[in-house]
């Protein structure tokens, strides 16, 4: 399990642009993108990752773990990457929303 920050990106000025972008993952394979809402005391139960996946916390906060760690606090602006086959769980006391990107051979950017 790796934890990343994605709330601060790089300034883009090309083509007279003015915005910040955080690269998340890249893949040459099919990917799925899911939006998840966990209400108060919500949980994504302890299970094995079917494929590589990255969970981006958009709002709120919670805790994540894998088979090698105790619960680690995460919050909006952080992302967690799990490899295929890795056991993992996500919990929240107060609620959180997240985007999950799943696919083969994902390579997370570590901004």
Exposure letters 50-65 (e unless 16+ CB within 10 A, then b): ebbbbbbbbebbbbbb
For the chain, how many structural domains are there in total?
1
Q: What is the CA radius of gyration of the chain?
A: 14
The CATH number of whichever domain residue 43 belongs to comes to 2.60.120.10
User: pLDDT of the chain along its 111 residues, tens only?
Assistant: 888 777 777 787 877 767 666 777 777 888 988 888 899 999 999 999 999 999 999 999 999 999 999 999 999 999 999 999 999 999 999 999 999 999 988 888 775
Domain that includes residue 81, residue range: 2-108
Q: Is the pTM of this model over 0.85?
A: no
């Amino acid at each position: 399990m790796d934890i990343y920050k994605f709330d601060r990106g790089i300034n883009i000025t090309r083509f007279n642009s003015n915005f910040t972008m955080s690269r998340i993952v890249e893949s040459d394979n099919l990917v799925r993108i899911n939006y998840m809402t966990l209400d108060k005391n919500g949980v994504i139960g302890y299970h094995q990752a079917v494929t590589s996946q990255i969970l981006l916390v958009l709002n709120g906060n919670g805790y994540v773990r894998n088979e090698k760690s105790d619960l680690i606090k995460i919050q909006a602006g952080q992302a967690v990457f799990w490899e295929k086959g890795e056991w993992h769980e996500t919990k929240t006391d107060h609620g959180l929303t997240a985007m999950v990107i799943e696919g083969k051979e994902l390579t997370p950017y570590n901004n």
